Structure 1
Amino acid sequence: METATPALRRVGRPRADALRNRERIIAAAREMFVEFGAQVPFDEIARRAGVGNATLYRNFPDRDALAREVVCSVMDRTSEWVEEAITEGGDAFEALSGFVHFAADERIGALCPMLSESFDKHHPDLVAANERITGLIEQLMARAREAGQLRPDVEFGDLMIAVSQLTRPLPGTACQGNDRFVHRHLQLFLDGMRAPARTGELPGVAATVEDLRRA
């Protein structure tokens, strides 16, 4: 038993290092996709992550694989936040508002356009992550609607389109420079979603999950 422990540590250490490297690559890619777009050079991502190009390609053989992992990781973290908010209960509209501000911090507005890029939007990992977060957000909205706190004419698509547009970086500017405006504008939007509504029926039609999928 005494000789097995060091051996186990030697075997386990590369796996732990590999996992850390993978996480550093994903974090660096997320930052650089937000700052420069999805076409940022791989060697720049590797440099920011502090790994070699070979390590990056060993984890992600092509741009599609890396972009998909970045998008899935953001959706997974957001799903975990929403699950915790639902479990805790409390004020339904405050939970919905918390999700919107959390999504802004996760740079969803900058990353959402990547869903329309060339990589496979039907990949099982992406589909599973998307279905999970969609279902959880709909639960948040249903709770707020049932509590009489959310306008009844607001649908999932309305919320996500607004979040995406309000948190998307302006052309030619750094995303971080807009942070002082993003949360302010999101709160104005959230106040407009509260029930009872201060205006009559909204113009046009509500955007549903199906509308977003078709788009």
Structure 2
Amino acid sequence: MGAASTTVERSGAPRLRADASRNRERIVAAAREAFVEFGADVTLDEIARRAGVGNATIYRHFADRTELIRQVTLEVMNRIVKLAESALTEEPDAFEALRRFVHGAADERIGALCPILSDGCPPMPAEFTDKRDRLEQAVQSIMDRARDAGVLRPDVGPGDILIALPQLTRPLPGTGCLNLGRFIDRHLELFLDGLRAPARSPLPGAAATFEDLRGQN
């Protein structure tokens, strides 16, 4: 009897851990969607409702809103890094790799998330730095490959891509975030056409670099 009870407890524990992990994943996914749709002021009640959990479950996983925002940031960075690396390794056409990354990153709605994530997070810890470095390396490699193939204009830099993406996916004031999705792919194609070589007109100023994005220049 005791042995059977122990077996049940041992077999039950991993299921509880798996359930907790799934709840955590649902909370992060729901928070990301809610931040995109409603902005930084969305209530934890709304996030809990979308995740299908109670408020107490959120607080069991996340100490406060800042910790939840941090986890959403890490999840978005993970997804974008994987997207850039897969575009680089899986897409044989140099410009199609760039297009795949641009459209995939736009699907993350980073324009809507950036103000929330930057305002809600403390200075970047090591795990974020590692993701940022991998993203920069992959984007640089995608652009170098397209430039070497003669299909990317020579006067643009990786910073230009990472500046344009948030701008093109940022909701207009007074409009719903989700409604903008109807136009994003259309405007991204206009942007991508502007990156193609040969260039129709020279660009003013210098190409944006990763150092520019970090405020080091």
Return the TM-score normalized by structure 2: 0.91
SS of residue matched to 2:174: coil
Question: How many Å separate the matches in 2 of 1:205 and 1:136?
Answer: 21
Q: Deviation above 4 Å: which 4+ runs of structure 1?
A: 1-7
Instruction: Measure how far apart 1:118 and its partner are.
Output: 4.1
Deviation at 1:120, TM superposition (A): 0.9
CA contact (8 A) 1:121 1:127 kept: no
**Alpha-carbon distance in structure 2 between the residues aligned to 1:135 and 1:70:** 22
Q: Deviations over 1:178-198 (max 9, x none)?
A: 111111001000000001112
- What corresponds to 1:140 in structure 2? 142
- Aligned AA (2:33): E
Query: SS at the partner of 2:214?
Result: helix
Asked if 1:210 corresponds to 2:216, the answer is no
- TM-superposed CA distance for 1:140, in Å, is 1.1
1:141-196 deviation digits (Å, cap 9, x = unpaired): 11111111111110111111111101111122212211111110010000000011
Partner residue, 1:198: 200
Contact persistence 2:77–2:131 (CA under 8 A): yes
Once residues 134 and 142 of structure 1 are traced to their aligned partners in structure 2, the CA distance between those partners, rounded to angstroms, is 12
Q: Where does residue 104 of structure 1 map in the other structure?
A: 106
Greater mean deviation of Cα atoms: 116-125 or 184-193: 116-125
Structure 2: gaps spanning 5 or more residues: none
- For the 8 Å contact 2:70–2:120, the answer to whether it is kept is no
Are the structure 2 counterparts of residues 78 and 118 from structure 1 closer, same or farther at C-alpha, using a change threshold of 3 Å? closer
SS in 2 for 1:126: helix
**5+ long unaligned stretches in structure 1:** none
Q: Any idea what SS the aligned residue of 1:117 has? A: helix
Distance 2:108 2:18 in 1: 25
Higher mean Cα deviation, 163-172 or 184-193?
Answer: 163-172
Amino acid at match of 2:173: P
- The question of whether the paired residues in 2 share the 8 Å contact of 1:68 and 1:126 is answered with no
Give the 3 Å change call, closer, same or farther, for CA 59–203 of structure 1 in structure 2: same
Q: Verify the 8 A CA contact 1:33 1:111 in the aligned structure 2.
A: yes
Question: In the alignment, which residue of structure 2 is the partner of 1:49?
Answer: 51
Q: State the Cα distance separating 1:4 from its structure 2 match.
A: 7.3
Taking only aligned residues, the RMSD between alpha carbons, in angstroms, comes to: 1.9
Shift of 1:24: 0.6
**Deviation at 1:2?**
8.8
Task: Check the 8 A contact 1:115/1:121 in 2, yes or no.
Answer: no
Q: 2: distance between equivalents of 1:84 and 1:103?
A: 12
1:27-61 deviation per Cα after TM superposition (whole angstroms, max 9, x unaligned): 11001100111232212211221111111011111
Give the number of equivalent residue pairs. Answer: 214
Contact 2:83 2:105 survives alignment (8 Å): no
1:70-81 equivalent positions in 2, closer than 5 A:
70-81=72-83
Contact 1:38 1:67 in 2 (8 A): no
How far residue 15 of structure 1 moved from its aligned partner, in angstroms, is 0.6
What's the TM-score, normalizing by structure 1? 0.92
Q: Distance in 2 between matches of 1:91 and 1:58?
A: 46
Q: Where does residue 187 of structure 1 map in the other structure? A: 189
